[in-house]
Amino acid sequence: MKIWLRKYSENKLYQGLFLLLFIMVTSLSLYLAQKSVVAFLLLLTSLLLLYYTKFSNAIKWSAGLLVLVVLLPLSASGGDAYESYMEVATMVGIYISMALGLNIVVGMAGLLDLGFVAFFAVGAYTYGIFATGQAANFMPFGHYPLSGNSFWVFILLGCFAAALFGIILGIPVLRVKGDYLAIVTLGFGEIIRIIFNNLDKPVNITGGAMGIPSITPPRIFGIDLVNASQFYYVVLVILIFTIFTVRRFEHSKIGRSWKAVRENEIAAQAMGVPLVRTKLVAFAVGASFSGMMGVVFAGKQTFVDPTSFTLLESITILVMVILGGMGSVPGVILGAAVMTILNLQVLTELTNWLNELSTSGTFVIPDAVSPAKMQRLLFGALLIIFALYRPKGLIPAKNPVYKMEDLSSGNVIQLTEKKQSAEG
Amino acid sequence: MKMRKSMSLLLSGSLALTMLAACGKSSSGSSSEGSNGSKVIKIATQTPLSGGSATLGEAIKLGAQMQLDEQKDKFKKLGYELKLQPYDDQGDPKKGVANAQLIGADKQIYGVVGHLNSGVAIPSSEIYEKYKIPMVSPANTATEVTDRNLQSVNRICGRDDYQGPAGAEYATGKLGAKKIFVIQDKTAYGTGLADAFKKSAEEKGAKIVGYEGITVGEKDFNGVINQVLSKKPDLVFFGGLYSEGGLIIKQAREKGIDVPFMGGDGLDSSTLVEIAGKSVKNVFITSVAGDTEGTETGKKFAGNYKKKFNKNIESYSVYGYDSMGVVLKGLEDAIKENGKKQPTREQVMKAVRNLKDFQGAVTKVSFDSKGDNDFAKFFVYKFDDAKYPPVFDAEIPKK
Amino acid sequence: MLNNILESIPQVAIDGLTLGTVYAVIALGYTMVYGILELINFAHGEIFMTGAFIGTAMLLLLTGFGWVSALPAIVLLITVLLLTALLTGLLGMGIERVAYRPLRNAPKLIPLITAIGISFLLQDLVRFIAELKKGNYIVTGPSLFTHQIKIHTSSISSIFNDASIKTSFIIVLVSAVIMMVVLDFFVNKTRWGMAMRAVAQDRDTASLMSVNVNKVISLTFFIGSALGGATGVLFAVQYGTIDPYIGFILGLKAFTAAVLGGIGNIRGAMLGGLLLGVMEMFASANLSLLTGGVFGAEYKDVFAFIVLIAVLIFKPEGLLGKPVAEKV
């Protein structure tokens, strides 16, 4: 058994075969048993397995894309649950993007941010205001609502607007540190939410607590995007862009400066890292991903109101980052996926199932503790268990370690490249 | 290290595969056949069951559950087994939409009773519309819910732009209020109601001496009450729910503000009396609910509810009860029209919309072309004593 | 306009102090734990909430017995306060044991996850128990100390209006002051307090000086949670109605107060709490007057946060915090 396992872990062929088999079985079973959430989840798990194989990055990426672009939608599309799976997948994509953004701020630059959802809100409202009649209330020119074609421009605008807010937030950050920073960002998040909640007077900009309904859906090649399965691809494209950018940043000069600032500000400064600029860039870049996804979110929901942007939401995103492993890109992706799927799908299905059992009389539960209302409780319990058993995060961040002789012989660069390809 | 990881992965992988096999079996086992050969029809409720506003969501769910349990036998005779499928939207639009997709995917679900928050109902109903699942709302008063003219969306409660003016008419007319202070809770419900009231009261010649917002979930409202104290209004209107309303009334009375208070159907709850105690005297509420305890069905409902769940009725429980009644009536009509064969969702949706003169425990229901209730006329109740329910005071017909 | 503001000042000050005292005592719990572990104990608000429920349950139970109502209400309250403090103190110790101690060497933010998990658990557990017992989880306790006292502030100066005080406010204030004074004495003057300060400064060195670090941390959690629970009871008495979700907002405000005063600093937490309470009350009573109705009371939290951010920009270590010299 042990020998066999070792062989498996070292042999690419075995890994490839097993993975292929796994993907085939799961996608087939998803195709046949449309209602099986387990099959859907296992198909997603194949991406995790893929991550742990020893293939080169190019193969991993193309295999992963194949699963996400073709296999997943195709095998889910046969039945009634198609849109529901795609809804979950879309939300997972949105949250991964946000978590990756927060990961830059918290994980890489070490700045604890408790008001991150504000940037998401900025993005969502940017599109929401201009894609409805709201903008006509305060804009002296132009014709509102804008058509759905403008959505694609707004993804960029949302990105810039959020980045701008990130810099505005960043300015007080230059003075406060640690947990004081946490409370300043928390305050900022709450201020943004309260302002959005009250900006229906004196001029009605955000619709206040009533929110902005009937947002124009995005339009491309004359087709309106209204279904979750269509947004899935939009989110996927942005997500891949995000992952790519984050990866590039991580190993760039600015990425190394972030880590230096995180480890020791004074030492970093002494080595010539410009503190102010580094921190501001972290806030701006992190915020911009959120802003983009905010625009997509507004287009998908066709309705935005302040209840989507509470403090709890910021904390949830932070938990995704910590749970996955701060600073680790694959970890954060996994953390965000686990949290979102748990909350949106697994817990709902689980409590439905328990509820079914209790109504059909298998066992009786008093109404005060009916399973349908236990979602938060289960969520809390799971968080504690995760944290206790994986205290460094699901996939902890790895920092490359160099040997003395390599450093002196000057082949570090080569090594770094190798390391990167191994990390995937 | 690497090996241990892959081993655990492999093990979990194989474990998962076995699970998958087991699951495939179980999912094929639970087909649409019920336990005794009759077909299963599920009705979903979608309300917040955990989180801050769970009491209200729970009340809707329990009301709906009661109606469903009562009608089980009737549907058994038609050859169908009714089941309730409660969903928890946590008052979160994202969760609501995700649940709506799950509801749409479950072909056994033929109707939805929900939601509590308009902010959740609006995006979720877009999904129901795609799947042609009728939604009957017990509580969403925001105008935008039905103003989008969706075929699937109906509500039995009143709209903000009916209820606000109804309250304003009574306040300026019978109570003769000239200076009114308006407080609202900055939620979609509270803002909608308070704005409609304010506009209508101003048209009727009253002066709005103050218009302030509070934060839901807090317990200390003395800041706003101090403003009321210095403005000396002769009526205070509160747009919001009873948990904040009760405390505002209590804290205001402690400060010696004894002018009448007025609110909407969100205050209509036994908990209001529990919170405010004796200070609930001289509080007026508007509600589409006819005198629940006055009618025979209403009395029966309150009694049964207490017996079944060991809880006092909330205002929303009876709306949940009637919403479910409307859904089931539509379902029944559709089944009959279809010659006792299983109807499609679209047929049920149309049957619900075409409902005429349905007599519920709280209100009569006929839907107009937008899905608003034609019979949503408003009643005004007054608390004379620390006792729930309040005393019926006046009836204001729909304009 | 200025006249209007001045008129209401006495009343606003009293109401602000009431709220501020509650913030201050909860903030103590945050600040103590932070001082020792550098951990934001997000579950602290929930401990406060649990305390409020335990206290209300006891009050309801005791007033149910005929013979207890013969006792003066103040004796009743003190008994309930002490019992609740004991129970929530133990609860806090238990939470530390289960959720924080195993993670003491983990990365700094990981305990945040367990803290949030514990919050969700406590909220729902309390809710389920309340529902099983009462059928509804919004619970209203027996009304004690509701007598109103009028203070003739107008006799001091004619610009003020009269203010009124609930008797319970005096009780809240007195008990809170007693708690804070005793705590201050305990931390600064006793052996255990010295041990606590030692652990806060340097855990490893303290353990070398034969301080039992685990015990000290447990004790800190016990005291912080006991104070939180006792405040819960005071809160329930003052405001009458509680629900399982009060902990979140109040905890947040108290945490803000702790930071405002300088986190880790006990006197700072007291000052921060009182300031925040008064500021909030002032804002909600006067914002719309000051801005001519453009910004109403709903902006009170924005106002409070802006003041906080301003304070931190000019004094990044909080009002009473000491600037930490960075070791290089």
In chain A, what are the domain boundaries?
A: 1-80, 86-323, 397-424
Give the predicted TM-score (pTM) of the model. 0.86
**Distance between C49 CA and the closest CA of chain B, angstroms:** 13
- Non-local CB neighbours of A317 within 8 Å, separated by 6+ positions: A95, A98, A99, A102, A116, A117, A336
Nearest chain A residue to C321 by CA distance is A180
Mean pLDDT for A283-304 is 89
Q: Are B305 and B311 in contact (CB under 8 A)?
A: yes
Q: Would you say residue C147 has pLDDT above 80?
A: no
Residue-level pLDDT at B29:
36
Chain C nearest C-alpha distance from A367 (Å): 8
Express as a percent the part of chain A with pLDDT over 70. 86
Evaluate whether the domain defined by B31-158+296-376 bears CATH number 3.40.50.2300: yes
Within 8 A of C298 by CB-CB distance, chain A residues are 194, 197-198
* Average pLDDT of span C195-202: 86
Q: What fold does the segment set B161-287+379-396 form as a domain? A: Rossmann fold (3.40.50)
Give yes or no for A405 touching B (CB within 8 A). Answer: no
A221, A348, B223 from A215: Cα distances, Å: 19, 28, 37
Interface contact A198-C299, CB threshold 8 A: yes
The domain that holds C48 is classified in CATH as 1.10.3470
Specify the range with the lowest mean pLDDT, choosing from A138-142, A153-157, A168-172: A138-142
In chain B, where does the domain assigned CATH 3.40.50.2300 lie? 31-158+296-376, 161-287+379-396
Higher-confidence residue: B144 or C85? C85
Largest separation between any pair of C-alpha atoms in chain B: 82
DSSP structure string for B148-201: T--SSEEESSPPHHHHHHHHHHHHHTTS--SEEEEEE-SSHHHHHHHHHHHHHH
| Distance in Å, alpha carbon of A271 to nearest chain B alpha carbon | 35
What residues of C are in contact with residue B246 (Cβ under 8 Å)? 241
Please state, in angstroms and rounded to a whole number, the distance separating the CA atoms of residues C236 and C77: 11
Q: What is the pLDDT of residue B4?
A: 47
Calpha distance B167→B239 (Å, rounded): 11
User: What is the band of C53 on the pLDDT scale with cuts at 50, 70, 90?
Assistant: very high
Q: What pLDDT does B24 receive?
A: 42
**pLDDT value at C88 more than 90:** yes
- How many domains in chain C? 1
Put simply, whether B389 touches A (Cβ < 8 Å) is no
Note whether B20 contacts A377, CB cutoff 8 Å.
no
Q: How confident is the model at residue A96 (pLDDT cuts 50, 70, 90)?
A: very high
pLDDT value of residue B333: 86
Alpha carbon of C177: minimum distance to chain A alpha carbons (Å): 26
Contact C295, C287 (CB under 8 A): yes
Tell me the pLDDT tens digit for each residue of A54-95.
Answer: 777 777 778 778 778 777 777 777 777 777 888 888 989 999
Read off the pLDDT of each residue in A296-317 and give the average, rounded to a whole number.
86
Within a domain: C322: no
Q: Which residues of chain C lie closer than 8 angstroms to A311, CB-CB?
A: 252
Residue C22: helix, strand or coil by DSSP?
A: helix
Q: Residue C106: which of A179, A107, A392 has the closest Cα? A: A392
The residues of chain B scoring below 70 in pLDDT are 1-38, 51-52, 290-295, 398-399
d(CA A181, CA C109): 14
Taking contacts as CB-CB distances below 8 angstroms, the residues of chain C near A315 are 116
pLDDT score of A34: 66
- The token pair at B334 is 């559709």
Is residue C193 included in any domain, yes or no?
Answer: no
Residues 33-52 of A with CB under 8 A from B: 33, 35-36, 38-39, 42, 45, 49, 52
Does A131 have pLDDT greater than 60?
yes
Chain B closest-CA separation from residue C296 CA (Å): 6
Q: Are B98 and A45 a contacting pair at CB < 8 A?
A: no
Instruction: Write the residue in B17, B88, B126 that is nearest to A373 by C-beta.
Output: B88
- Closest C-alpha among B209, B204, B213 to residue A201: B213
> What's the pLDDT band for C1 if we cut at 50, 70, 90?
low
CB pairs under 8 A between A and B: 170
A209 near C CB under 8 A: no
Among C135, C161, C166, the residue with its CB nearest the CB of B310 is C135
* C269 contacts C176 by C-beta, under 8 angstroms: no
Q: What is the mean pLDDT of residues A386-400?
A: 78
Shortest Cα distance from A64 to chain C (angstroms)?
Answer: 30
DSSP 3-state percent helix, strand, coil across chain B (nearest 5): 50, 20, 30
Choose between A63 and A419: higher pLDDT: A63
Q: Are A210 and B144 in contact (CB < 8 Å)?
A: yes
Q: Does C237 touch chain B (CB under 8 A)?
A: no
pLDDT band at C69 (very low <50, low <70, confident <90, very high): low
Give the range of the structural domain holding residue C107, as residue numbers without chain letter. Answer: 2-183+217-314
* Residue A290, pLDDT above cutoff 70: yes
**What CA–CA distances, in Å, run from C24 to A247, A315, C3, C101?**
45, 24, 30, 26
| Interface test mutation site (partner A, options B9, B36, B214, max chain A beta carbons within 10 A) | B9
| Interface touch A33/B5, C-beta < 8 Å | no
- Determine if residue B314 is left, alpha or beta; phi over 0 gives left, psi from -120 to 50 gives alpha, anything else beta: beta
CB of C256 within 8 Å of a chain A CB? The answer is yes
Kindly identify which residue of chain C lies nearest to residue B213, measuring between CA atoms: C298
Check whether C91 has a pLDDT greater than 90.
Answer: yes
Residue C18 contacts B where some CB pair is shorter than 8 Å: yes
Examine residue C243 and state whether it is found in any structural domain, yes or no: yes
| A342 touches B: beta carbon within 8 Å | no
Residue C96 forms contact with B (CB below 8 Å): no
